[in-house]
């Protein structure tokens, strides 16, 4: 499912808009689907219509069953009314149903009453129900009586069914727009005979602040060594909440190349790069993280200006290619058309394991070993951080319970993890960090990210879950199937649960994705850009867009790493991967490997002058004319010195290095 809490959904769209394919993807996680076909067979000589019907049949999975209702328009309402809570129905489509309704063979009849019966059956249905219908209201009024009768009847049907459904989506050119979010259905009174999903109202931060409620006044702190850090707990044990009143984890720089000194005030220091830009209730005063947060956006003008400026630089070739996106991104996030390279970088490595089938094939204790290795300054991530002069902060996220059996976290743990991530970003901004790199190393994290993508983007779990690779470099198909089954079971368990951001994190995402989401939100509030690299970061991006849509504009994806889930999330978030290195060094390492290239592009954009043909200075302006070393009638350079050790000398006593002019 892809919308918060619906179990009845109307999908509208034009011809060939992709509405049927979208509707089918929404029920792909169901173990069995009853496909209700409404269209008549058509004339025997209409081969094009027969080909359309055959194409629809061919793409249905073998586990689906098909039921025809073309013989009787009233049959559709009966099928919907008879479906039980464990049934999944896909009706495709209502245009065919209206065609049958208007057939002279079924006249005279009360069409209005038949449409009302259908809407009542949809409203009272306990099944998971998706209905597809053509949207004909955007065209001209037909010139024929039959055409007008069809559009009038279909328009009335669409209005009645849309009013009865929890959610309505419109598909245009393969793109989906939600016309009626399921949140509206939650606010409506429960219908008789329908199981209403549990829904927690999200508190209003303004109202809470005015009323002095406990929620707005509770500070949340995080321990340096949280009690959930132990990895020997039973797999099904509920992870503990974030303890209050404790410091954040230690930040260290791996020993290799020391990080560059912070710029002086007024030259790009912390005050210029990461200062708060708006009045927001901070963590210490009880910030409420909820949907619809108004956070800063990057500058709309400086990004395009910086890209346009690249065309005027004195470059010998065609330019920076895809790295122009880096210049535009840095310019927009820094608020200047001449962006500077990111001097101060911090890597946040989130370590939190997922119990149950999500971690099938993972070696017990391996993720903890990777975290200890990074903390000790060893391993690929720490080495790459050292090469980039980046600081590294290893963070223990709360472990997640098996999501196929129950929620991965409870509501309080989600709130604490979100605030903890926000505080990590706040700490980095206060330290003058110019760029965050989000990394993760938890067992089962990729399966949890796949579940989040399936829930938020309507993806099919096997299509977004990467293959499981053993320590010996072999593909473990059995472990992959166990992970797929765990994700499928979790989605089935939560099929009627709300799909709001915090509910997705509690049911499916777990501690590391919740904490990563908080990092993205906190970084957005402080105008600190973030490099995403891997499934946890992109899954957090998917969740964060429902809390603050501005967050994705502060994210950059250097590489998709060949991971299908990252590709899908990037497409949904509008992030274009810059490179295709196909490195598999762990989440965060590919971003660090690409960082020198990104910095080089920014350095060129900042340092190169305007081309002389476009009004820039000439070479004579840039290079000083050398002074002659001898009278005009003598050679400019001294005679070559005889070979031998020691410095070269001229007629004077001053030694001259080889190749140096004698002054």
Catalytic residues: 587
Q: Residue 586, by phi and psi: left (phi above 0), alpha (psi -120 to 50) or beta?
A: left
The DSSP result for 606-637, as a single string, is HHPPBPGGGT---HHHHSPPPPPSS-TTS-SS
The vertex-230 CA angle with 225 and 231, nearest 5°, equals 140
User: What is d(CA 186, CA 240) in angstroms, rounded to the nearest whole number?
Assistant: 30
State the CB neighbour count (10 A cutoff) for residue 189: 6
Strand positions, DSSP E, 73-166: 88-92, 128-134
Q: How far apart are CA 508 and CA 513, in angstroms?
A: 9
Residue 419, CA distances (Å) to 144, 248, 502, 645, 651 in order: 62, 12, 12, 67, 74
How far apart are alpha carbons 202 and 192 in whole angstroms? Answer: 25
Specify the 3-state DSSP secondary structure of 106: helix
Round to whole Å and give the CA distance between 16 and 12: 12
Three-state helix/strand/coil letters over 337-393: CCCCCCCCEEEEEEECCECHHHHCCCCCCHHHHHHHHHHCCCHHHHHHHHHCCCEEE
Closest residue by Cα to residue 544 from 629, 456, 477, 608: 456
- Give the separation between CA 123 and CA 120, rounded to whole angstroms: 5
φ, ψ for residue 129, nearest 5 deg: -130, 125
What one-character DSSP code corresponds to residue 559?
B
Calculated CA dihedral for residues 412, 414, 415, 419, nearest 10 degrees: 140
Quick one: which of 179, 136, 228, 135 has its CA closest to 6? 179
Q: Which long-range contacts (CB under 8 A, 24 or more apart) does 146-150 make?
A: 146/102, 149/102, 150/98, 150/99, 150/102
E strand spans, 100-144: 128-134
Q: What is the DSSP letter of 651?
A: S
Closest of 520, 530, 591 to residue 555, by C-alpha: 530
- The 3-class SS string of 213-268 reads CHHHHCCCCCCCCCHHHCCCCCCCCCCCCCCCCCCCCCCECCCCCCCCCCCCCCCC
Task: Write b or e for each residue in 543-561: b if 16 or more Cβ atoms lie within 10 A of its Cβ, otherwise e.
Answer: bbbbbbbbbbbbbbbbbbb
Pairing of strands 435-440, 530-531: parallel
């Amino acid at each position: 499912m892809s919308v918060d809490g619906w179990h009845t959904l109307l999908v509208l769209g034009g011809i060939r808009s992709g509405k049927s394919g979208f509707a089918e993807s929404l029920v792909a996680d169901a173990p069995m689907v009853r496909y209700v076909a409404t269209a008549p067979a058509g004339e025997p000589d209409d081969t094009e219509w027969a080909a359309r019907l055959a194409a629809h049949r061919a793409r249905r999975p073998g586990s689906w069953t098909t039921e025809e209702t073309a013989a009787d328009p009233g049959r559709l309402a009966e099928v919907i009314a008879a479906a039980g809570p464990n049934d999944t129905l896909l009706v495709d489509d209502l245009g065919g149903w209206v065609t049958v309704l208007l057939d002279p063979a079924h006249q005279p009849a009360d069409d209005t009453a038949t449409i009302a019966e259908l809407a009542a059956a949809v409203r009272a249905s306990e099944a998971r129900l998706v209905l597809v219908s053509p949207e004909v209201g955007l065209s001209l009024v037909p010139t024929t009586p039959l055409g007008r009768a069809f559009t009038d009847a279909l328009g009335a049907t669409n209005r009645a069914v849309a009013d009865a459904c929890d959610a309505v989506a419109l598909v245009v050119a393969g793109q989906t727009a939600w016309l009626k979010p399921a949140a509206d259905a939650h606010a409506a009174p429960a219908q008789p005979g329908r199981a209403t999903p549990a829904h927690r109202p999200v508190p209003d931060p303004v109202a809470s602040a005015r009323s002095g409620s406990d929620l707005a006044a509770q500070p949340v702190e995080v321990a340096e060594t949280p009690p959930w850090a132990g990895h020997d707990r039973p797999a099904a044990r509920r992870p503990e909440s974030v303890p209050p009143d404790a410091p954040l984890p230690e930040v260290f720089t791996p020993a290799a190349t020391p990080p560059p000194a912070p710029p002086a005030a007024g030259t790009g220091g912390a005050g210029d790069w990461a200062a708060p830009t708006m009045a927001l209730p901070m963590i210490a005063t009880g910030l409420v993280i909820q949907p619809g947060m108004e956070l800063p956006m990057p500058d709309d003008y400086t990004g395009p200006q910086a890209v346009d400026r690249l065309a005027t630089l004195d470059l010998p070739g065609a330019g920076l290619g895809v790295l122009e996106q880096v210049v535009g991104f840095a310019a927009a996030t820094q608020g200047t058309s001449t962006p500077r390279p990111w001097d101060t970088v911090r890597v946040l490595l989130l370590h939190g394991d997922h119990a149950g089938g999500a971690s099938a094939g993972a070696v017990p204790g391996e993720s903890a070993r990777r975290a200890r290795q990074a903390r000790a300054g060893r391993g690929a991530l720490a080495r790459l951080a050292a090469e980039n002069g980046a600081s590294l902060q290893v963070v223990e996220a709360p472990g997640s319970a098996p999501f196929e059996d129950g929620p991965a976290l409870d509501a309080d743990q989600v709130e604490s993890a979100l605030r903890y991530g926000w505080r990590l970003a706040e700490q980095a901004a206060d330290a003058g960090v110019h760029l965050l790199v989000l990394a993760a190393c938890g067992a089962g994290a990729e399966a949890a990210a796949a579940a989040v993508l399936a829930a938020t983007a309507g993806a099919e779990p096997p299509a977004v879950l990467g293959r499981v690779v053993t320590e010996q470099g072999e593909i473990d198909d059995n472990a992959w199937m166990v992970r797929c089954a765990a994700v499928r079971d979790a989605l089935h368990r939560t099929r009627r649960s709300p799909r709001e951001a915090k509910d997705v994190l509690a049911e499916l995402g777990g501690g590391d994705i919740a904490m990563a989401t908080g990092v993205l939100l906190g970084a957005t509030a402080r105008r600190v850009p973030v490099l995403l690299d891997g499934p946890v970061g992109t899954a957090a991006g998917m969740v964060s867009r429902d809390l603050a849509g501005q967050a994705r504009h502060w994210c950059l994806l250097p590489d998709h790493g060949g991971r299908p889930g990252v590709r899908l999330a990037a497409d949904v978030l509008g992030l274009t991967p810059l490179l295709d290195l196909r490195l598999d060094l762990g989440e965060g390492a590919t971003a660090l490997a690409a960082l020198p290239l990104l910095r080089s592009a920014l350095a060129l954009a900042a340092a190169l002058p305007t081309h002389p043909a476009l009004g820039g200075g000439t070479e004579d302006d840039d290079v000083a004319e050398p002074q002659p070393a001898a009278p005009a009638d003598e050679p400019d350079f001294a005679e070559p010195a005889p070979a031998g050790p020691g410095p070269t000398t001229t007629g004077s006593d001053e030694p001259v290095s080889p190749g140096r002019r004698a002054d």
